[in-house]
């Protein structure tokens, strides 16, 4: 059913209808979700949302462009407060045609002089429009509408302006004869007496809409008893939001913190839901080409380091500078170069000093008595397909990351420096084949890692960088769980976890490179890194 048809049915059925004010796309969706059958596009609240007065300071094209978002985001009909029609009969014709184009179901125009002033401001000095001229607007609007069910409501301001019941009835009759689909009778009195007097005299000759902003104490049963067609709650969504925004802004200003604010505001995911993000996500899956797994990273930077000649007295080694930049910042830039936009850093020693742009942080309270595997376990929830896991004290050239990503699979892929084959360095690696002299050797699989590899049998050293695919995530989490169960997690290394994965029969891929990196674990390593 067209929205115009639904609005027409709402105001002509025997049962009273209720329209709730909305002033934006998100407020319109909230109103619909609350259960209302129709929206009132209030001139006052739309103007207020723009920070201007309800005096036609918004142009009619600005209004129609704005309400287009409100109609697009909802399925219920919208009746727009069209002020005086924004000019003469010709403006009215253009307004109706444009409103139909953007999906508005109906418009209300009031019999005042353009530019208008809000009815509750200085009402006694607001002149009313000439009856014949106003009826010409009604006829022009009805003649121009393309949809026969588009609703045009004539709003009578005689009671507001103090012209009395007789004038109100005279104008309502003229507007009805000119083709108005309904009459909106307005009042600024706190009592509904003059409204009820109008209803009694009108006798139901056409649908009547009320806006009980001032006589809000009146029971709805009284409206039903007098066969009111529709009641408009005209500005309460905006007024509620103003009170909430004022209180929240004041609290955050006074607290200089979000600690007391966050529990009292809508969660971000609720904002995204109201914006329709779920529909966009579904559409992306349908229409966009399949994308590569997004790249993320977990950087383990909890340790203090060994001998740096006092350089790390107040900062962890990951924040020591190489060529004028912190090691950690350089590493994150290297990852970002390959599309990594989500990095989690595990901090420990002098955690407050680990501050790099573009990262989130997990803190290890037990960094002095725990190792790498424990740090990774703290960020286990961040382990997803496409995660890089790296030590926070490595400086490397980007071709190493590129080679790792080019060879990465759904399993686990580790970067190994084959130039250190046969050396007694930690994290020794033996593959099913040694580096054959190429930059990388396709299809090399891990056979052993760590202390289980005698130096003379090693094919290189793992440099502290690996990639985890979809299957590898499960395997690495299983290894963490097993180490947690047998009590070895606290002191285990990442190499120990990889050894568990291998022992469980899962493949780990080896990508060889030669040099191009430095492990900054002491002052000598810091000197080596300065040459990269």
Task: For residue 40, give the CATH number of its domain.
Answer: 3.20.20.60
Point out the domain boundary residue: 195, 210, 235: 235
> Tokens 């103090």 sit at which residue?
162
Distance CA 83, CA 70 (A): 18
pLDDT of 440 over the 50 cut? no
The model's pTM is: 0.64
Mean pLDDT of 447-470: 94
* 155-176 per-position pLDDT tens digit: 999 999 889 999 999 999 999 9
Mean pLDDT of 116-132: 76
φ and ψ of 410, to 5 deg: -75, -5
Q: Is 54 a catalytic residue?
A: yes
pLDDT the model gives residue 437: 65
| Domain co-membership, 51 together with 163 | yes
| Domain co-membership, 141 together with 43 | yes
Please tell me the least confidently modeled range out of 74-83, 98-107, 360-369.
360-369
Return the percentage of the chain with pLDDT > 70, whole number: 96
pLDDT the model gives residue 68: 97
| Domain co-membership, 20 together with 169 | yes
Out of 54, 111, 334, 427, which one is annotated catalytic?
54
Mean pLDDT of 55-70: 93
Mean pLDDT of 341-347: 94
pLDDT the model gives residue 322: 87
Q: Is 360 exposed, middle or buried (0-12, 13-18, 19+ CB in 10 A)?
A: exposed
Residue 156, CA distances (Å) to 164, 171, 173, 176, 432 in order:
11, 7, 10, 11, 89
Residue from 213, 181, 67, 43 nearest 116 by CA: 43
pLDDT of 529 over the 80 cut? no
| Domain co-membership, 267 together with 321 | no
| Domain co-membership, 318 together with 226 | no
pLDDT the model gives residue 151: 98
Please tell me the least confidently modeled range out of 36-50, 100-114, 436-450, 452-466.
436-450
| Domain co-membership, 379 together with 467 | yes
pLDDT of 124 over the 90 cut? no
Residue from 174, 116, 226, 177 nearest 212 by CA: 226
| Domain co-membership, 259 together with 202 | no
Point out the domain boundary residue: 235, 253, 269: 235
Mean pLDDT of 523-529: 77
Helices (H), 263-412: 268-274, 277-287, 327-337, 372-378, 398-407
In the Cβ-directed half-sphere of 437, how many Cα atoms lie within 13 Å?
0
pLDDT the model gives residue 121: 65
Residue 434 belongs to a domain with what CATH number? Answer: 3.90.550.10
What residues contact residue 379 under an 8 Å CB cut-off, 6+ apart? 298, 344, 346, 362
Distance CA 451, CA 26 (A): 60
* 182-202 per-position pLDDT tens digit: 999 999 999 999 999 999 999
| Domain co-membership, 124 together with 8 | yes
| Domain co-membership, 334 together with 428 | yes
φ and ψ of 239, to 5 deg: -65, -35
Distance CA 448, CA 501 (A): 11
pLDDT the model gives residue 292: 67
In the Cβ-directed half-sphere of 60, how many Cα atoms lie within 13 Å?
24
* 215-260 per-position pLDDT tens digit: 999 999 999 999 999 999 999 999 999 999 999 999 999 999 998 9
| Domain co-membership, 231 together with 247 | no
* 461-471 per-position pLDDT tens digit: 999 999 999 99
* 16-32 per-position pLDDT tens digit: 999 999 999 999 999 99
What residues contact residue 200 under an 8 Å CB cut-off, 6+ apart? 226
Residue from 55, 187, 156, 50 nearest 114 by CA: 55
Q: What is the DSSP string of 17-59?
A: EEEEEE-SHHHHHHHHHHT-SEEEE-HHHHHHHHT--TTT-S-
pLDDT of 385 over the 70 cut? yes
- Which tokens in the block code for residue 91? 């403006």
| Domain co-membership, 273 together with 377 | no
| Domain co-membership, 14 together with 108 | yes
| Structural domain harbouring 59 | 3-235
pLDDT the model gives residue 91: 94
pLDDT the model gives residue 439: 47
Annotate 91-107 with b (16+ C-beta within 10 A) or e (fewer): bbbbbbebbbebbbbbb
Point out the domain boundary residue: 235, 261, 276: 235
* Total domains in the fold of the chain: 3
């Amino acid at each position: 059913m067209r929205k115009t048809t639904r609005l027409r049915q709402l105001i002509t059925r025997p049962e009273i209808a209720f329209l709730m004010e909305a002033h934006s796309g998100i407020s319109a969706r909230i109103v619909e979700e609350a259960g209302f059958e129709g929206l009132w596009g209030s001139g006052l609240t739309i103007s207020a949302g723009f920070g201007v007065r309800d005096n036609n300071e918004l142009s009619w094209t600005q209004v129609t462009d704005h309400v287009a978002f409100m109609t697009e985001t909802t399925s219920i009909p919208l009746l727009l407060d069209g002020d005086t029609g924004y000019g003469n009969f010709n403006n009215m014709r253009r307004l109706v045609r444009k409103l139909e184009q953007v999906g508005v179901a109906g418009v209300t125009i009031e019999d005042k002089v353009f530019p208008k002033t809000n009815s509750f401001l200085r009402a006694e000095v607001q002149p009313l429009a000439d009856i014949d001229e106003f009826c010409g607007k009604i006829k022009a609007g009805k003649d121009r509408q393309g949809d026969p069910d588009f609703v045009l409501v004539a709003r009578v301001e005689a009671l507001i302006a103090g012209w009395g019941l007789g004038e109100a009835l005279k104008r309502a009759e003229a507007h009805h004869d000119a083709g108005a689909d309904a009459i909106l009778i307005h009042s600024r009195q706190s009592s509904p007496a003059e409204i009820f007097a109008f209803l009694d005299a009108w006798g139901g000759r056409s649908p009547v809409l009320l806006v009980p902003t001032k006589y809000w104490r009146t029971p709805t049963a009284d409206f039903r008893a007098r066969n009111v067609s529709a009641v408009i709650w005209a500005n309460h969504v905006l007024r509620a939001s103003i009170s909430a925004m004022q209180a929240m802004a004041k609290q955050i200003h006074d607290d200089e913190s979000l600690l007391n604010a966050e529990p009292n505001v809508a969660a971000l995911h609720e904002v995204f839901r109201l914006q329709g993000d779920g529909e966009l996500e579904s559409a992306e899956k349908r229409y966009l080409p399949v994308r590569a797994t997004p790249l993320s990273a977990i950087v383990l930077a909890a340790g203090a380091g060994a001998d740096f000649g006092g350089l790390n007295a107040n900062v962890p080694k990951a924040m020591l500078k190489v060529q004028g930049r912190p090691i950690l910042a350089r590493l994150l830039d290297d990852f970002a170069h390959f599309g990594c936009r989500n990095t989690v850093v595990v901090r420990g020693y002098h955690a407050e000093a680990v501050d790099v742009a573009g990262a989130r942080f997990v803190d290890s309270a037990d960094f002095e008595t725990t190792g790498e595997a424990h740090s990774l376990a703290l960020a286990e929830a961040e382990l997803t397909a496409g995660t890089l896991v790296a030590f926070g004290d490595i400086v490397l050239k980007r071709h190493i990351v590129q080679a790792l990503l080019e060879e990465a699979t759904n399993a686990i892929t580790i970067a190994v420096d084959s130039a250190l084959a046969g050396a007694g360095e930690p994290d020794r690696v033996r593959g099913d084949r040694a580096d054959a002299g190429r930059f990388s050797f396709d299809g090399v699989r891990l056979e052993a890692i760590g202390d289980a590899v005698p130096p003379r049998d090693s094919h290189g050293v793992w440099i502290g960088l690996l990639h985890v695919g979809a299957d590898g995530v499960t395997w690495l989490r299983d290894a963490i769980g097993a180490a947690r169960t047998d009590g070895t997690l606290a002191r285990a290394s990442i190499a120990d976890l990889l050894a568990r994965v291998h022992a469980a029969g899962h493949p780990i891929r080896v990508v060889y490179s030669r040099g191009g990196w430095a492990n900054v674990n002491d002052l000598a390593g810091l000197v080596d890194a300065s040459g990269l």
